[in-house]
Structure 1
Amino acid sequence: MTRLSVEVLAADAVAPITSSGHARLGIAVLLGIAVIVLLITTFKLHAFLALTIGSLALGAFAGAPLDKVITSFTTGLGATVAGVGVLIALGSVLGKLLADSGGADQIVDTILAKAGGRAMPWVMVLIASVIGLPLFFEVGIVLLIPVVLMVAKRGHYSLMRIGIPALAGLSVMHGLVPPHPGPLVAIDAVHANLGLTLALGVLVAIPTVIIAGPLFSKVAARWVDVQAPDRMLPQRPSEELEDRPGFGATLVTILLPVVLMLAKALVDVVVDDPAHTVQRVFDVIGSPLIALLAAVIVGMFTLGRPAGFTRERLSETVEKSLAPIAGILLIVGAGGGFKQTLIDCGVGQMILEISKDWSIPALLLAWLIAVAIRLATGSATVATVSAAGLVAPLAADMSTAHTALLVLAIGAGSLFFSHVNDAGFWLVKEYFGLSVGQTLKTWSVMETIISVVGGGLVLLLSLVI
C-alpha cells in the first residue's frame, strides 16, 4: 500500500512549465502570494477570484506560457474539487442530518453535561485526535464542524477556545502518526519501521497537541475573539421534534467513517497484499468517499427515522445542505489550483536543488527541506514526499530509531505555516467565518507551533535514543 502511494504521488511530478532561474522563480512566488493577499485584504475581492488572478500573475512573473499556466490551474482546481469537494459535500449532508434530526443537539448536550469550563478545550482535542487518527484532515473537519460550532455557541465559548484544539488534534494526527498517507509514504521511502514510527509518533504527538491545542487556544482567543458564525451554524430544530436520536445511535453514525477507514488502514498493514480479497474489499469500503457515503445513508435511518423524517423531508434536508457550501468548494478548489501552479512552475524542484548544498544534521535538514517545500507549494503531502526522497540516502547509516525519527522530522516540517497557497487554509477560513488576517493569526500560527514543537521534540529524542 505504501509503495503504491509513492508511485502514484511520484507520477504527479512533471517537467516545469517554465525555465526561469531560481531567483526569478522565487520572486514570482512572493509576488503571486502578494497579489492574492492584496486583492483580498485591500480590494475586498472574493477569494476565488483573487486566487485565480494570483495564479495567472504567478505564471506571468515566472515567464511561463499562459496556456500552460491555465492548464495547471484548472488541473489543480479539478483535482482538489474531485478529491476534497465530494467529501465536503457528503460531510455537509451528514452535518445537516445531524442538525435537523436533533442528533447534533444530543451530542452537544451530552458533552456539555459531562464537561464544561476549563475542561472543554481538552475534551475537544481528545475527540479530534481520536477521530483524526484514521481520517484525512478535510474529512475530520467536515465531521467535527457541526459539533465544534454548536459547542462554542451553546456553551458561550470563544470559537478559538473550541476550534483550535479540534484543529490541532486533526493536524497533529495528519502529519505525525501513521496510518495517515504522508507518514506512510515517508516510512516507505526511508525504509523505517512502521511500529516504532507509530510509537514515537504518538510520543511526540501528545505534548505537541497539548501545546498547540488547549494552551495556544487561550492566546488565540485573545488575539481573535470571535463567535461561531451564524451562516455555518446548524439551526436547532429540536423544539419542532417530538423525538430525537439517542446519543448512542448518533455517536455510531458519526464514528462509522472513522471505523471503516481505520479498519482499512489496519488491513493494509496486516495483510499487505493488494491482490488479496480482504484487502481489496477494505480498500473500497474504507475509502473516504465510500465511508462518508455509508455514514450518510446509515444516518438517514439512525437519525432521520427517530426524528420522524418522511422521504420528502430527507430529500429537502439533503438539498438544503448543499447550497451553503458552493462558495467554500470554489475557494478550496482555487487554492488547489494555485498550489498546482506553484508545483508545475518548478518551485518544489527549486527547493530540492538549493537544499542539496546544505551541510547540517540529517534530522534538521529533513525538517528544513519539508518546511521550505511546504511554504513554497502549500502542500504537506508534496513536502513529505519530496523531502523523504531527498534525505532517503542518509537513512542507510542510521539506526532503526533514528530512521523513525527522520520520518517524524519530515512530517513535522510539512505542517509549517499554512497560508494562502494551501487549500486547508481556505477551508478553515470559510468554515470558521474568519478574515485572512484572523486565519493567519490563529490557524497559521497553530500549524507553525505544531511544526516547531514537533521538530524540536524529535531532535531532543535523537539525543537520548
Structure 2
Amino acid sequence: MGAVTGTTLLVYALIAVIALVILIAKFKLNPFITLVVVSVALGFAVGMPMGDIIKSFEAGVGGTLGHIALVIGLGTMLGKMMAESGGAERIALTLIDFFGEKNVHWAMVVIAFIVGLPVFFEVGFVLLVPIAFNVAKRTNTSMVLVGIPMVAGLSVVHGLIPPHPAALLAVQAYGADMGKTIMYALIVGVPTAAIAGPLFAKLIDRHVKLPEVNPLAAQFTEEAENIKGTRQLPGFGITIFTILLPVILMLIGSWADLIATPKTFANDFLKLIGNSVMALLIAALVSFYTFGKARGFGRDAILKFTNECVAPTAIIILVVGAGGGFGRILRDSGISTAIVDVATHANVSVLVLGWLVAVMIRIATGSATVAMTTAAGIVAPIAASVPGTRPELLVLTTGAGSLILSHVNDGGFWLVKEYFNMTVTQTFKTWSVAETIISVVALLLTLGLATVT
C-alpha cells in the first residue's frame, strides 16, 4: 500500500482517468503508450515503492494477455477465413431473402449478431460493411437504416456475449459460469440490439440525411458486381455451423458435469474442448477445411490468410495488455479498496458498481475492451467480498458499461464516420447515441433479470 490513502487515492485515480482522455483524444497519443505512461505515473504519485511499480504493471499485462492473446489470434483467423470464403456474404444474402427488402434493418442486426460472435467489432465491421453498402443500394435505403442496426448488433455481441475476449476475461475474473453467462447475455442482448439497432435506426433515419454519393460505397458495390457470378459462396448451413462451433463447444464444456461423471476421462475431455482457447482452436482448424480446402483454397493460400490477419491485431493485443496493467496498478496501489469503501458507504450495488467503473474507463480510453477488462480487474475483488453477488450478471453490467458513449477517442467512432460518409455531428447523433442506448438498456434489463432469477 502506498503512502497516499483514502479520498486522496480516488482523486489521483480521477486525475489519471482525465489524463488518459486528454492524452488520447486531444494530443492523439497512442493508447498503448498512454496507458503505460499514466499507469507508471499513477503508481509513483500514490507512493507505491518504485521497484514494485513496473513489477505490478507487468503482472497485470501478463495476467491479461496469457489468455486473451491466444483468443484474439485464433478468433481473427476464423474471421479471416470466413471473409475470404464468402461465408459472411452467404449469411447476408440468405437472411435478406428471408426477411424481405422492407425489413433489411432487421436482417442486418441478425447478420451482425451471428457474424459478430467469433470476431472483434472492427473485424466484423470490415467484413459486413461491403454487404451493408450492397444491401442499401439493392433496396434503395439509407446507410443509417442499414448500417446502424449492423453496428448495434456487432457492439452488443462485442460487449456482452462470450466468446468475445473482454467478456471471456470478465467471466474469468468474476468466476462466472460460461453457460449461464451466454444464456443471460442472449436474454439481455437480443432486446437491447433490437432497441438500439432497427428501432432507433428507423427513428433517427428521418433526421439524418447523408450525401447521395459515397465514394467508398461506389467502390464496394462495383467490386461486388464485377465478381458476381464468378464466385461460388459456401452453403448457409456449413457457414453457420463453423461460426457457431466455438460457442457450441463452450456450452458443452460448461455442461460437462451434467453430460459425464466428474473426474472421468470423458468429463475432463469435454471441459478441455469447452475451454475458450481450445474451442476457438478447433473452430479455426475446422474453418481451414470448410472455408479453405472445400472452397478451393490450397495450403499456401490458407497460410497467407492466417499470417496476414494476425499482424493488425498487434496493437489491439498491446492496448488490451496495457489496460490489464493499468487495472493491476489501481488494485495494488489500494485504489480498488478505496472504491470499495466509497461503494459501501454509498450503498451502491455491485452490479451498478461494475457498470459505473466500466463507464468511467470507456469514456476515458475509448476502448470497450480495455474498459471491460480493466473494470473486471478492479471490481472482481470487491465482488468476492460481497455475499450473494451474481457473477454472470456482473459480467453483463460491466460489459454494458464498457459500451457507453463512443466518441472521438474510440476507433469505432471514426470507422463508422468514414465508411458511412457522415459528419462528426451526424456520427454523434447516430453511432454515439446507439452505443449509449445499448449501455443503459442492457443495464436496466440485467437489473430486472437480477430481481426475477
TM-score by structure 1 length?
0.71
How do residues 202-217 of structure 1 correspond to structure 2 at under 5 angstroms? 207-216=191-200
Hey, what does 2:139 align to over in structure 1? none
Structure 1 residues 353 and 444, CA gap change in structure 2 (3 angstroms): farther
Aligned match of 1:162: 150
Q: Does 2:379 align with 1:391? A: no
Pairing of 1:293-308 with structure 2 (within 5 A): 293-308=281-296
Residue 151 of structure 1 and its aligned partner are, at CA, apart by: 3.6
Unaligned runs of 5+ in 2: 137-142, 362-370
Deviation at 1:370, TM superposition (A): 3.3
Q: Find 1:35's aligned residue among 10, 13, 19.
A: 19
Distance 1:296 1:150, change over 3 A: farther
Residue 311 of structure 1: aligned partner = 299
> What is the deviation of 1:260?
0.8
Q: 334, 338, 345: which one pairs with 2:322?
A: 334
Deviation readout 1:119-153 (Å, 9 max, x if unpaired):
34544555666788xx7xx8675885565444434
Change over 3 Å in CA distance of 1:60–1:327 after alignment to 2 = same
Alpha-carbon shift at residue 57 of structure 1 (Å): 2.4
Contact 2:354 2:379 in 1 (8 A): yes
Work out whether 1:89 is the aligned partner of 2:73. Answer: yes
User: Which amino acid in 2 is paired with 1:252?
Assistant: F
Contact 1:412–1:450 (Cα < 8 Å) also in 2: no
Letter in 2 for 1:152: A
Q: 1:91·1:142 contact (CA, 8 Å) conserved in 2?
A: no
Deviation at 1:261? 1.0
Is the aligned partner of 1:292 residue 2:280?
A: yes
Structural mapping, 1:17-416, within 5 Å: 18-115=2-99, 119-126=103-110, 141=121, 144-145=124-125, 147-156=127-136, 157-158=143-144, 159-169=147-157, 171-173=159-161, 207-216=191-200, 243-268=232-257, 273=262, 275-358=263-346, 365-374=349-358, 378=371, 379=374, 381-382=376-377, 385-392=380-387, 395=388, 410=394, 413-415=397-399
Q: Tell me the CA shift for residue 162 of structure 1.
A: 0.9
Determine whether 1:453 maps to 2:448: no
Aligned equivalents of 1:431, 1:449: Cα separation in 2: 23
CA distance 1:121–1:64, shift in 2 (3 Å): farther
Whole-Å Cα distance in 1 between the matches of residues 170 and 149 of structure 2? 28
Task: Compute the displacement of 1:248 (Å).
Answer: 2.1
Question: Following the alignment from structure 1 to structure 2, what is the Cα–Cα distance between the partners of residues 63 and 279?
Answer: 48
Deviation of the 1:351 alpha carbon: 1.8
The verdict on how the C-alpha distance between 1:269 and 1:215 changes in structure 2, with shifts beyond 3 A counting, is farther
Identity of counterpart residues, as a percentage?
Answer: 25
Q: Secondary structure at the match of 1:306?
A: helix
> For the structure 1 residues 445 and 374, does the alpha-carbon distance in structure 2 shift closer, same or farther, using more than 3 Å as the test?
same
Corresponding residue number in structure 2 for 1:398: none
* Cα gap change, 1:38 to 1:284, in 2 (>3 Å): same
Q: Is the 8 A contact 2:160 2:395 kept in 1?
A: no
Listed one character per residue, the Cα deviations across residues 182-208 of structure 1 (whole Å, up to 9, x for unaligned) are 67997989xxxx99x999887666544
Helix, strand or coil at the partner of 2:297: coil
**Deviation by residue 1:358-403 (Cα, 9 ceiling, x = unmatched):** 45xxxx63434434554577445446644543431xx5xxxxxxx9
Aligned equivalents of 2:66, 2:209: Cα separation in 1 = 33
Contact 2:83 2:127 in 1 (8 A): no
Contact 1:59 1:345 in 2 (8 A): yes
SS of 1:245's equivalent in the other structure is: coil
Gaps in structure 1 of 5+ consecutive residues: 1-15, 396-402
Q: Mark the CA change 1:128 to 1:244 in structure 2 (over 3 Å): closer, same or farther.
A: closer
